[in-house]
Structure 1
C-alpha cells in the first residue's frame, strides 16, 4: 500500500476569519450568521488547497478555533479568569531572544482562563458545525479521508490550569470524563480523531521544569491514563495521537529526548503516532524508532513530520523522500504516513510560516511522498 499524505491539523486562517474569531474571543459585537458563513467558506477553501497540494487525509485546518487547546473554554463550563503564563525553559535561558519575541509580536495573545468550576459540556453545536463543514468540503473537493483535532485532557491541564479540583489527578479525571463525548462524536462521524498531546513533551520544560525526568514521566503516564480512559471503547485504528516539544522557532535546548518519552508515547491507545522529526533539534531521533523497533507494536502506524512547520524553507522533495525512507525501512511502507512536524496555524492569526508557503510545503510533502512510493 502506498504511503499517504496528511499533516498535523491547523492551517493558516485568512485575516477575515481571524478578525471574526477575535471579535468573538474579546466579547465584541459580531454577526453570528456572518460568522457561521465565514467559517463554512473558509473550511471549503482550506480543504480545496489541501487537495490541490496533494494532501489525501485532510482536516478543517482548525478554522473556527482560537487555538488547538484553549477552544475548550468556549465549549465547556468551569473556566474563568486567567492562567499564569509559563515561558518554556529554553526561552528563559536566552532572555534577549524571549524579549525580542514578545516585543516583535512573536508570542500569541489569547485568553487562558483557569479551571474554577466543574467542567461540563455546553453541548456539541460548535463541534457538529465543524464536522458538517469539513464533511461538506471533503465531498465538494473529492477528499476521501479526513481527521479532526481535539485537545487531550493533558494539554488542557497544561494551558488551562486547575484552581478547582483538589488534585491534578482529579482534574485530569474530570477532563477525561468531559471530553469523552467529543472524541466519540468525531469517530462516529467517520473521521479520524486526532488527539493533540504536546503535554507529553512540551510540558516537561514549560510547566514541570523543576522536576527530574523520572518525576515528569510519572505525570506523563497519568496524562496517558486519562487519555486512554476517555477513548475507551473507540477503535484505535481511527485515532491519531500527536506529540511535540512546542511549535515555535527557538533554541529548544531543554527539550526532553524522544528516547526518554518513547514508551509513554507508545502507551496511548491509538494506532497512528504523529511526531516531529524535521526540525534541527529532533531530526536525528528517527534513530530511536530504528533502535527500539522491537518495542513498536504491530498495530502502530508511524506518522513522522518530514517537513518543518516553523521555517519558510520549502523542503526539497528528495529530502522528504529520504526522511520517509528511514521509517519505511523500520516498519514497512504500509505502516508509514507522511506528515508535517506540527501545525501551521496553531493559534489563530499567529504562525511563523507565510500562508502560501505553508501550502507550498504541503505540495513538497506530496511530491516527496510520490518519490518515496516510486522507490518502494
Structure 2
C-alpha cells in the first residue's frame, strides 16, 4: 500500500509550566536557567512522544521554548526595543462588537512586539542549538525519523516587529535576511528540515497593507520572497518548507486575499514543500486553484494542504480528511502530497483556541485519514 506522510505547521500546545517559564523570561522576572532548560527538554520530549503516538511522520519541537513564531527573534537578535503599533486585521475592524468580545474574553494574546530601533545582528545560536538538541534527543527517544524546525521569515518579522531604524522597507528586509541566514543554515546542518513561516504573504494584506490594492500588495509580497530566497541561498530547496496563511484566528476572514492572487508568489519561494490552509470555511474551496493552475506548479514542489482546521474544537472525521487529501493527490500524485494542518495549534505561548487534548486527537484523525486515502490509491 502506498503511504501518505503526515506533518503539521509546527506549534503545539505548551504546558502551564512551560508557559510560566516563558512569561517569566518575557516579563524579565527572575527564574532559574537550569530549571528552565530542564523543563524545555522534558516538554519537547513529551510533545514529540504525543506526535508519534498520533501517527505524525514529520515532527517538530512544537516551538516549545518560543513566545511566538515571529517575535521570538527579539530574544535572539539585537536591534529591537520599545513597542510596535498593533494593527487589528481589517475583517475584525468591520465587526467591532466581535473584536471587543475577543478582547474581553482574552482572545487576543498579550506579548511584547518591540520596534526595530537599531542594527539587527545575531546574539549567537545558543538558544537555537538548545532547541535543536532537545528535538533530536526526543526524536531518538521516541522513534521519529524525520523532524523539522520553524524559523521566522524576514517578511513576518517585518510584519510584527516594525521598522523605525532602516531607511526603507527594502533595507530592513535585507538586514533581516542577512541576520537570519545563519539560523536557517544551522537548522539544516543539524539534519532537520527548515520551515519558514510566511503569513506576511497573505495575512499582512489585510493587517498591515489594507490600504493598498491587491497588485500593490503583491509587489510587496514579491519583495519579501526575494529577501527570503536571498537568505536561503546556501540551503538546498529540498530541505525547505514554506507556510502561508491568513491569520490563525476565528473571525470573519472576509478580507483575506484570494489564494489565486498569491499563488505565483507562493510558488516562487525557494522551497520544495508548500503548506497552506484548505480546511477552514474561508479557504476550503481553493483546492480548485491548484487543480486549475496545475501547469504552474513546479515539478519539484510537494503540496502540504491543511486537512484539519486549527481554530475549532471539532475533530474532523477521517473520511473527510481522506477526501481533502485525495483532491490534491488527484492533481499532483500521491508522492507529491503530505497531509498537514491549516496552521499551528499553539501559535503564541499560553494561547490557543483548541484544547490541547483535542489538538492531538485532530492530528490522530489526520493520520487516520491519510491511511484511508493511501488505501484507496
**TM tier, shorter chain?**
over 0.9
RMSD (Å) for aligned C-alpha atoms: 0.4
Q: What is the number of residues matched between the two proteins? A: 376
Quote the residue 2:139 is aligned against: 138
Quote the residue 1:31 is aligned against: 32
- Displacement of 1:2 in angstroms is 1.8
Specify the SS of the correspondent of 1:4: coil
Quote the residue 1:209 is aligned against: 210
Is 1:221 aligned to residue 222 of structure 2?
Answer: yes
Unpaired segments ≥5 residues, structure 1: none
Specify the SS of the correspondent of 1:134: helix
Quote the residue 2:345 is aligned against: 344
Q: How big is each residue's C-alpha offset from its partner over 1:163-206, in whole Å with a ceiling of 9 and x where there is no partner?
A: 00000000000000000000000011000000000000000000
Specify the SS of the correspondent of 1:352: coil
Q: How far apart, in 2, do the equivalents of 1:233 and 1:300 lie?
A: 19
Asked if the contact 2:185/2:234 (under 8 Å) is kept, the reply is: no
Quote the residue 1:179 is aligned against: 180
Alignment of 1:236-275 (within 5 A): 236-275=237-276
Specify the SS of the correspondent of 2:206: helix
Q: How far apart, in 2, do the equivalents of 1:227 and 1:2 lie?
A: 32
After TM superposition, the score normalised by the length of structure 1 is 1.00
Quote the residue 2:168 is aligned against: 167
Q: How far apart, in 2, do the equivalents of 1:241 and 1:94 lie?
A: 31
Alignment of 1:35-46 (within 5 A): 35-46=36-47
Quote the residue 1:8 is aligned against: 9
Q: How far apart, in 2, do the equivalents of 1:273 and 1:3 lie?
A: 16
Q: How big is each residue's C-alpha offset from its partner over 1:29-66, in whole Å with a ceiling of 9 and x where there is no partner?
A: 10100000000000000000000000010000000000
Q: How far apart, in 2, do the equivalents of 1:39 and 1:298 lie?
A: 39
Q: How far apart, in 2, do the equivalents of 1:366 and 1:218 lie?
A: 38
Q: How far apart, in 2, do the equivalents of 1:371 and 1:235 lie?
A: 32
Q: How far apart, in 1, do the equivalents of 2:159 and 2:357 lie?
A: 31
Quote the residue 2:323 is aligned against: 322
Q: How far apart, in 1, do the equivalents of 2:152 and 2:128 lie?
A: 12
Unpaired segments ≥5 residues, structure 2: none
Quote the residue 2:64 is aligned against: 63
Quote the residue 2:118 is aligned against: 117
Q: How far apart, in 1, do the equivalents of 2:232 and 2:373 lie?
A: 33
Quote the residue 1:94 is aligned against: 95
Name the stretch that deviates more: 68-77 or 231-240: 231-240
Asked if the contact 2:206/2:256 (under 8 Å) is kept, the reply is: yes
Q: How far apart, in 2, do the equivalents of 1:86 and 1:50 lie?
A: 34
Q: How far apart, in 2, do the equivalents of 1:173 and 1:234 lie?
A: 17
Q: How far apart, in 1, do the equivalents of 2:93 and 2:81 lie?
A: 27
Asked if the contact 2:318/2:369 (under 8 Å) is kept, the reply is: yes
